[in-house]
Amino acid sequence: MSSEEEMTELLRRAELERRELADAVGGVRDEFESHRRELRLAGLTAGALFGVGSMAYKLFGRSSPFSKIRRASPIVSLALGLSRAVLRWFR
């Protein structure tokens, strides 16, 4: 083999290895981007769930207005029922 043939063979081999390396790096990059999207979506979902959970706690927690109304509802229901009974009695 002449040195020119060896040089051509080395250049061809270098080009093949460069393409293989570029394909491998491209695959790793695609996988990285995929994981990045998944983690971003997971972060957005966790943030949304935390927001909904904190809003629900404020609405339905122990000291919320709805909780106070719920605890007072049997008393109010009893008072309304008695007042209706008294009004029917007097009719």
Q: What is the pLDDT of residues 2-12, one digit of tens each?
A: 788 899 999 99
**pLDDT (tens digit per residue) in 21-58:** 988 888 888 888 888 898 888 888 988 888 888 887 77
**pLDDT (tens digit per residue) in 48-86:** 888 888 887 777 777 777 777 777 778 878 788 888 888
Place of tokens 């460069």: 18
Q: What is the model's pTM?
A: 0.49
Place of tokens 């990059």: 29
Band (1; pLDDT cuts 50, 70, 90): low
The answer to whether the beta carbons of residues 58 and 64 sit under 8 Å apart is: yes
Specify the amino acid at residue 31.
E
Domain boundaries, the chain: 1-60, 61-91
